[in-house]
Chain A
């Protein structure tokens, strides 16, 4: 079952914050976040594993709520370089199982 991402698109001014959500109807073991710039390959941002751990990466961080079966990606003090499409990929169990990706959230940061 494909996870649902929200919002579908968001426009920010430089310095503003944003939250991107990823919700699943299935219990999750891991959530993977990627960013894809136009014409480029998706680039890995971070993985969150079962345990409700929050992770950080520069001014981008994420949380994972197992009970709610959702993850949120937080972008603070956004920069122009944050523009792109953000995807979450989910796995319902450990081990070799393919990720199921959401449809993506298009983020545009303007000056």
Chain B
């Protein structure tokens, strides 16, 4: 079974803090994604990566950055957290075939005070 894990289920941070969200997958997948999920807006893509050290902006990259130093790990970084970044963050991985299914992690509910 594919397993995608995220470092925290719940996280509370203060405005201006630097926040790291970690995602690890165990299936040797090439592709990894970060989404945020807000009520009524569905899943919106923040960043994605098709290979180590490679990253591409998604639909809403502003205020975020990512890092992929190893194939199995994809990190989302909030350089200076703001209250409008309070959200559920979901990581997903996918084999390099593109049309294959995406496997999601359990999500991190981030609250920025």
List A residues at the B interface (Cβ < 8 Å). 2, 29-30, 32, 34, 40-44, 47, 49, 87, 89, 91, 94-104
Contact = CB atoms under 8 A, between A and B. Distances in A.
A44 B101 contact: yes
Interface stretch (B12-20, B37-45, B64-72): B37-45
B112 to A, nearest CB: 20
B50 A96 contact: yes
Contacts, number: 54
B40 A89 contact: no
Interface in B55-71: 58
B99 A29 contact: yes
B91 to A, nearest CB: 9
Give the interface size class of chain B.
20 to 34
Contacts of A103: 40-42
Interface of B: 4, 31, 33, 35, 40-45, 48, 50, 58, 90, 96, 98-107
Contacts of B44: 101
Nearest to A32: B101
Nearest to A3: B42
Given A30-B99, A34-B104, 15 more contacts: A32-B101, A41-B90, A42-B90, A42-B104, A47-B99, A47-B100, A49-B99, A95-B99, A96-B98, A98-B48, A99-B102, A100-B45, A101-B35, A101-B42, A104-B42
B107 to A, nearest CB: 6
B98 A44 contact: no
A30 B45 CA distance: 18
Contacts of A104: 42
Contacts of A101: 35, 42-44
B99 A87 contact: no
Contacts of B48: 98
